A and B are shown apart, each in its own frame.
Chain A
Amino acid sequence: MTQLDDLIQSGSRIECHGPWPRVVVDRPAWEAAGAALAAGELTLLGLWGETETVHMAVGETGRLAVLSLPCPDRRYPSIGRAHPPALRLERAARDLYGLVPEGSPDTRPWLIHADPYPFLEAEGPGLHQIAVGPVHAGIIEPGHFRFAANGETIVRLEARLGYTHKGVEALMAGATVEAAAQIAGRVSGDSTVAYAWAFVQAVETALGLKSPPRAIQLRALMAELERLANHLNDIGFVCNDAAFGLLHAHFAALREGVLRAADTAFGHRLMRDLIVPGGVSKDLAAPGKEAIAAAVAAIRRQWPLLVEIYDDTASLQDRTVGTGIVKTGLARQDGAGGYVGRAAGRNFDARAAFPYAPYDKLRFDVPVREEGDVDARVRIRIAEAEQSLSLIDQLLAGLPDGPLYAPLPAANGPAEGMALVEAFRGDVLAWVRLNADGTVARCHLRDASWFQWPLVEAAIEGNIVADFPLCNKSFNCAYSGVDL
Chain B
Amino acid sequence: MRRLLLDGLLHRPLTEPPPVPDDAALAELTQALARAARRRLGRSLSLRLVDAGSCNACELELNALGNPYYDLDRFGIRFVASPRHADMLLVTGPVTRNMAEALRRTYDAMPAPKWVVAVGGCAIDGGCFARSPAVLGGVHQALPVDLTIPGCPPSPTALLRGLLALLEQADAGKMEKT
Contact = CB atoms under 8 A, between A and B. Distances in A.
Contacts of B98: 113, 162-165
Interface stretch (A20-28, A131-139, A376-384): A131-139
B57 A253 contact: no
B53 A135 contact: no
Nearest to B71: A249
A246 B3 CA distance: 13
B132 A166 contact: yes
A313 B53 contact: no
Contacts of A201: none
A163 B49 CA distance: 15
Interface in A170-214: 170-171, 179, 182-183, 186-190, 192
B56 A182 contact: no
Interface residues on B, range: 35 or more
Nearest to B135: A166
Contact of B94 (A113, A166, A479): A166
B1 A188 contact: no
Interface string B41-82: 000000001111111111111111011110000000001011
A190 B64 contact: no
A234 to B, nearest CB: 12
A135 B106 contact: yes
B54 A167 contact: no
Contacts of A190: 56-57, 60
Residue among B14, B83, B98, B155 with max Cβ neighbours from chain A (10 Å):
B98
A256 interface: yes
Interface string A139-181: 1111000000000000000000011111110110000000100
A167 B56 contact: no
Interface in B23-41: none
A270 B153 contact: yes
Residue among B94, B99, B134, B152 with max Cβ neighbours from chain A (10 Å):
B134
A164 B56 CA distance: 10
Nearest to B81: A137
A396 to B, nearest CB: 24
Interface residues of A, number: 49
B116 to A, nearest CB: 15
A179 B67 CA distance: 33
Contacts of A249: 67-68
A138 B134 contact: no
B151 to A, nearest CB: 10
B138 interface: no
Given A190-B60, A256-B64, A480-B56, A167 B134 contact: yes
A256 B153 CA distance: 15
B4 A246 contact: yes
A252 B59 contact: no
A194 to B, nearest CB: 13
B4 A309 contact: yes
A73 to B, nearest CB: 26
A237 to B, nearest CB: 8
B131 interface: yes
Nearest to B152: A272
A142 B106 CA distance: 13
Residue among A139, A259, A479 with max Cβ neighbours from chain B (10 Å):
A139
A272 B129 CA distance: 16
Contacts of A182: 128
B51 A142 contact: yes
A165 B55 contact: no
A151 B82 CA distance: 24
Contact of A189 (B56, B69, B97, B134): B56
A272 B57 contact: yes
Contacts of A192: 55, 57
Contacts of B66: 252
Residue among A140, A162, A165, A272 with max Cβ neighbours from chain B (10 Å):
A165
A484 B56 CA distance: 12
A372 to B, nearest CB: 25
A164 B53 contact: yes
Interface string A235-261: 000000000001001101101100100
A166 B63 CA distance: 23
Contacts of B14: 253
B132 A139 contact: no
Contact of B54 (A179, A189, A309, A478): A189
A397 interface: no
A305 interface: yes
Contacts of B60: 189-190, 233, 270
B96 interface: yes
A139 B57 contact: no
Nearest to A255: B67
A263 B98 CA distance: 34
A142 B102 contact: yes
Interface in A102-152: 113, 134-135, 137-142
Interface of B: 1, 3-5, 14, 49-64, 66-69, 79, 81-83, 93-94, 96-99, 102, 105-106, 127-129, 131-135, 152-153, 155
The 5 closest A-B pairs by CB, nearest first: A189-B57, A167-B134, A137-B81, A167-B132, A189-B55
Interface of A: 113, 134-135, 137-142, 162-168, 170-171, 179, 182-183, 186-190, 192, 233, 246, 249-250, 252-253, 255-256, 259, 263, 269-270, 272, 305-306, 309, 312-313, 478-480, 483
11 contacts: A135-B50, A139-B49, A164-B53, A165-B134, A171-B128, A179-B128, A190-B57, A249-B68, A269-B155, A270-B57, A272-B57
